[in-house]
Structure 1
């Protein structure tokens, strides 16, 4: 298939909850640490506006941390609490909406400094409340939904994963029982925002400390793992993989997003080195950039309805006009990703 033969299918509208996107291209959350003291300034608003102006259907912000002492150990990661930070995010929303875009914050807790086993049940309840307060603020500020970060070994995922959750109370147990914390976070956020406000959950098998990690090993286990999260109120699953083209289980070519959609019936976002020839770990582990790669396989999978939305991360850092160039058939003009670009403002 010629890359441009069916590229327009990625630019069909998509509706979920009370939100309609102009196309299926999503800006993946990419931490940059450009918010001194946790406050996003006008430069952050301009950064997101440029992607909206260039045709990104949905922007998911970089991770924004909740109000909890352990939620972040990095001073320039943006907060999602406090008047100054929230006013900064209000400006981001205004700029993106004025450019015709849609935007949701990724709400985040970076994880326990020791183990989730060390949290008391009262502290767990306080953290759940902090997530729900952030969700409420997102709706109040005019965001178009929220994403909860439950992937990559951060707090929600630390409860999911057997290697970091050895609790013997109601928040521990087998791979289904370990979803309880995540499900309670989702339920609390749903209560805070009401039935129509979209909630996205990002989850992954791999962890930042173990790329071979598995929460589940079979489709049956995945179905059982996801069921409590669906019941809690997830509208869309953002299925984080390092390479979108890799099959999740044997005897099927479906990736994690494909299996998740098949098993839950919920819309899914695929992600993982879209438009590039190296996965993100090459950047973090080796400092390598990535050359451009054709996207015919992505389009073929999309047209088979394996997933509903396509998240693009590093490519959109490198090139704010990535989506508009794709729509106009100018993929030869895409700008390759280079690690140094993470340090710049676009």
Structure 2
């Protein structure tokens, strides 16, 4: 059996992806009214990728509660107005042939922060529109205020918030739901011993640290039914020299998440601690995805400084992943998929009619 190519379709549950070049979530910090509602900016940003041929377009980390937002300007999915704004976006994604995905998230101890271009860093004070953050333990992320430790009732509320956001996501027209358990946000904070020093059923052993993530996956699967694919994004390592949270543990939790109802694993890394060496370079996270795929036999995507069509093709053709997620390269070129097809000698039948006069090869 040969490995897939970038332009082979891919099917999960009731969803067919037209190719395997997918847009990773990218925070925009642009809900300017601080109400979590997607704006014209988000519409233009996300739908451009569908026009450009992407198989799947995933929204930025979208908070399941107000206190789950990374910044006051982040998107949310906990009100009717937010849901309606997303419905406009999913309709356009579908009209252009792309699968619409949403990444549901809770930032935990990394919430209530200034947006990157605010001129300030760290936690936004309550007096300036910030809020008290929560986490598995009262261990602050360096440079941020210490969070309040979640009670058992608070953990139940988080699960309920993910469930409710999952229902809203489906009602807004999303085809795929991704659970954000990476980059140092709440679920990752529970998974890693570097941010979780609880002694109850949510701390200590790997089974305990994974409990919240697995509850979220199970609740979403129950809520959205059998047809909707559920992804989980993991940071497969904290890159700590002492190796407290690592790819082997991630693979084990991925298998448990699959048993709880997840279908696919979006493999990234880092974000939970500072002061560690991350070997950033082209394709630097691909081997993490490959190891999880090899260990579990489950489908995965690779991400991380994949910037050329040849690099993306090599990831799939080598069998290291089932799809490629890209972020910054799509910011540079929203039509990357159309360009990649040309560079790799593939003829696509989904050029927008309005753009066909520019299709390769040109007449």
The answer for unaligned runs of 5 or more in structure 2 is 110-132, 138-148, 270-279, 346-363
- Name 2:319's counterpart in structure 1: 305
- Name 1:156's counterpart in structure 2: 187
Alpha-carbon shift at residue 78 of structure 1 (Å): 0.8
- Name 2:73's counterpart in structure 1: 76
Once the two structures are superposed, what CA deviation does each residue of 1:94-118 show, in whole Å capped at 9, x if it has no partner? 1111111111111010113354131
Of the candidates 329, 336, 342, which is equivalent to residue 322 of structure 1? 336
**Is 1:90 paired with 2:104?**
no
**Is 1:167 paired with 2:205?**
no
SS of 2:103's equivalent in the other structure is: strand
SS of 1:11's equivalent in the other structure is: coil
SS of 2:57's equivalent in the other structure is: strand
**Is 1:225 paired with 2:253?**
yes
SS of 1:74's equivalent in the other structure is: coil
Which piece of structure 1 moves more, 105-114 or 311-320?
Answer: 105-114
Alpha-carbon shift at residue 35 of structure 1 (Å): 1.8
Of the candidates 263, 266, 269, which is equivalent to residue 238 of structure 1? 266
Alpha-carbon shift at residue 245 of structure 1 (Å): 3.2
Contact 2:237 2:245 in 1 (8 A): no
Using the size of structure 2 for normalisation, the TM-score is 0.76
Alpha-carbon separation, structure 1, partners of 2:196 and 2:312: 35
- Name 1:49's counterpart in structure 2: 47
Alpha-carbon shift at residue 14 of structure 1 (Å): 0.6
Once the two structures are superposed, what CA deviation does each residue of 1:135-161 show, in whole Å capped at 9, x if it has no partner? 111111111110111001100000000
Alpha-carbon shift at residue 61 of structure 1 (Å): 0.7
Of the candidates 23, 29, 32, which is equivalent to residue 33 of structure 1? 29
**Is 1:116 paired with 2:136?**
yes
Contact 1:160 1:215 in 2 (8 A): no
Alpha-carbon shift at residue 256 of structure 1 (Å): 1.3
Alpha-carbon shift at residue 9 of structure 1 (Å): 2.1
The answer for unaligned runs of 5 or more in structure 1 is 1-7, 248-253, 276-293, 332-346
Contact 1:46 1:95 in 2 (8 A): no
SS of 1:40's equivalent in the other structure is: coil
SS of 1:75's equivalent in the other structure is: coil
Contact 1:205 1:215 in 2 (8 A): no
Alpha-carbon separation, structure 2, partners of 1:246 and 1:46: 30
Alpha-carbon separation, structure 2, partners of 1:269 and 1:166: 30
Structure 1 residues 296 and 99: alpha-carbon distance in aligned structure 2, compared to 1, 3 A threshold: closer
Alpha-carbon separation, structure 2, partners of 1:81 and 1:41: 16
Contact 2:247 2:291 in 1 (8 A): no
- Name 1:268's counterpart in structure 2: 300
**Is 1:258 paired with 2:290?**
yes
SS of 1:10's equivalent in the other structure is: coil
- Name 1:205's counterpart in structure 2: 236
